[in-house]
Amino acid sequence: MDRIADLNLFLRVLDLGSISAAARSLDLSAAVASQRLKRLERDLGVRLLHRTTRQLHATAEGLALAERGRALIEELEGLTDDLRRAGSEPAGQLRVTTSAAFGRLYLSPLLPEFQRRYPLVRLSVNLSDENLDLIAAGMDLAIRIGRLDDSNLVARKLANNRRVLACSPDYLRRHGAPRAPQDLTGHECLLLVGAQGRMENWRVLDAAGRESLVRVNGRLESNFGEVLRDAAIAGLGIAHFSVWHVHEDLRAGRLVQILPKHRLPDTAIHAVMPQRRYVPLRVRAFIDFMAESFGEVPPWEREV
């Protein structure tokens, strides 16, 4: 078990940024922690950390150990926690990530009830519009919206992700409404910039499912959906939105749907996690809780 304890110490050093902070978190002296790290490097025959007077950086070998070792440590911790409680009560640290807007609107309000239901689970929630590498970032699971490209993840669908084209009533008064998808080329469009670049090719389907691919342009782009929502409400242009993001604006009339006889291809909202032989109870409990909370018809669709 010394090797496992030393590996856990090494991961703490990377997470907290210093040997002294990691030692304190494990109730060790800095000298003992330093000796154990040297022992781990000696046993493995590689250098794991570059040490300077001010910073620690993982070597390439250290990063490789962290990526694979973290999953092993977490599986072992989850297994021992679950066995200790006879497999009946979720417990331990649960690290979750999702997009900032979705997390604030739909994940955050559910957390109090989840913690009341599972008091032994400790939650760490990361809200970011980056698609984090779950293993490298030490995340147990992510709630992701849209197409899934990573085949190394296990996914469970939580809800459909219906999308619409929308703008403000003021924009329509000033510029008129497009009557067909190709009319979008003459309008000011608000563009989302993601990991795959500038999303300027919009796919639009008619009632029969026939697709039009429209290349749009505009003066404003952002990687953050809230910026595009604010700009659309202010009358700066047309954008495509997930209904979960703007259903209240549509209901209140701050935004109106355009091309209502057309639709954007639907995607989905998934809970995703790294492929593992053993999934901790706390992870399964959280995914089940989210699916239960969204239900067959998610809350944003009930109110449109």
What pLDDT does 151 receive? 65
What is the pTM (predicted TM-score) of this model? 0.69
Residue 48, pLDDT above cutoff 90: no
Domains of the chain: 2-81 (1.10.10.10), 89-159+268-302 (3.40.190.10), 163-265 (3.40.190.290)
Residue 102, pLDDT above cutoff 50: yes
What pLDDT does 174 receive? 95
Average pLDDT over residues 50-59: 76
Highest mean pLDDT pick, 39-48, 104-113, 195-204 = 104-113
Q: Which two tokens stand for residue 199?
A: 């999303």
Q: What is the pLDDT of residues 78-98, one digit of tens each?
A: 667 666 654 578 888 899 999
Residue 52, pLDDT above cutoff 80: no
What pLDDT does 86 receive? 46
Residue 44, pLDDT above cutoff 50: yes
Give SS3 for 200.
coil
Residue 27, pLDDT above cutoff 90: no
